[in-house]
Amino acid sequence: MRVLVYGAGVIGSYLVHVLVRGGNDVTVLARGNRAEELEKEGLVIRHYFQRRTTVDPVRVIRTLEAGDIYDLIFVVMKYTDFQAVLPILANNRSSNIVLVGNNTDAHDMQNYLMEHSDTHKNIAFGFQISAGSRENGRTVCIRGGVQMVLGGLNGPILFKAVLDQAFAKTKYKLVYHENIDAWLKNHIVPILALGFVTIIHERQMTKIARDDKLLRQMIAAMDEGFRVLEAQGYPLTPAEQASLIRKHPTLLRLLLKIYHILPFSRLVDGSPYEIAALNRVFRDWKERSNVPTPNWDVLEERFNASYPFIH
């Protein structure tokens, strides 16, 4: 199956690895030094927990032309990069597209592609459950079992059979969600809260683990964030996530302490620019909801003080 992975960061790189090992004809779109690395060295991934390194040869392109047809295109980008890619996707004649990553604007993105493309687009949205960082020309991937949560905005994904075929010979799990827009919006709450505290303490993870007051504020802020979503009419999904925060805050605080103590937490990449962009959208939700968010506001203010030039 001809598959394009548009983006060669940590998440995109692991997805390429899985699809190549699954027997697909995979192309990766990358630019600059990253494209040169892939052409020269192949796709090199250090699997952190598995304590092994894999190398996969990959085909690299730097631009997506209108006539480059693929059975599947996965666009794996930071939230701040999606807007620049949408016109390129609209101009391309491939039909089946999955936008993967943090996303508050799924409906707007789908509408843009539908309205600006001469080719009918089947669009899904997804989030790969893994993390990592780029260091010294290689990708460090942090994962247990790997899966992608994905779904369509207007009912079941029309190209589900194509997706299932692409991953049929892999150990990668596809989890289809009936309300992916709500799932993505719910995911933004812990992403922002964790991002705030990471920036506040300048990525000094053990310092976060020792700051009990900050951890309590973060958990309370997550609860406030979910109340904002509820006020906007979004269901809490997965329900277990909000339940842990609301019913078992002491247990969650212990888990967060352990997470920030462990060495791999320092390898989880997080862009302050992406956090700021996501928070601008979340701020609009807060203002429309009229839900009091005192703990969230304190974290947001401290984050903004750390990066005043990106707001």
The Cα 268–Cα 201 span in angstroms is: 15
Report pLDDT digits (tens) over 53-103.
Answer: 999 999 999 999 999 999 999 999 999 999 999 999 999 999 999 999 999
What is the tens place of the pLDDT at every residue in 184-232? Answer: 999 999 999 999 999 999 889 999 999 999 999 999 999 999 999 999 9
Segments in the chain forming alpha helices (H):
10-21, 32-41, 82-91, 106-116, 160-166, 180-200, 205-210, 212-231, 239-247, 249-261, 272-289, 294-306
Distance CA 259, CA 278 (A): 23
- Per-residue pLDDT of 220-272, as tens digits, reads 999 999 999 999 999 999 999 999 999 999 999 999 999 999 888 877 767 88
Percent of the chain clearing pLDDT 70 (strictly above): 98
In terms of CATH, what superfamily is 2-178?
NAD(P)-binding Rossmann-like Domain (3.40.50.720)
Compute the distance between CA of residue 188 and CA of residue 199 in angstroms, rounded to an integer: 16
Kindly state the tokens that stand for 187: 């995911």
Residue 311 confidence (pLDDT): 56
Residue 282 has pLDDT above 60, yes or no: yes
Q: What is the pLDDT of the chain when averaged over all its residues?
A: 94
Give the pLDDT confidence score for residue 271 in this predicted structure. 85
pTM over 0.85: yes
- Note the pLDDT tens digit of each residue in 141-165: 988 778 999 999 999 999 999 999 9
Checking if the pLDDT of 41 tops 70, the result is: yes
The pLDDT, as a whole number, for residue 285 is 95
Instruction: Measure the CA–CA gap between 14 and 217, rounded to whole angstroms.
Output: 34
The answer, yes or no, to whether the previous bond of 238 is cis (omega within 30 of 0) is: yes
Residue 65's Cβ-count burial label (10 Å; 0-12, 13-18, 19+) is exposed
Q: How high is the pLDDT of residue 189?
A: 97
- Nearest CA-CA partner of 104 in 196, 222, 189, 45: 189
CB atoms within 10 A of CB 200: 20
Residue 74 contacts residue 127 (beta carbons within 8 Å):
no
What is the CA 132 to chain-centroid distance, rounded?
12
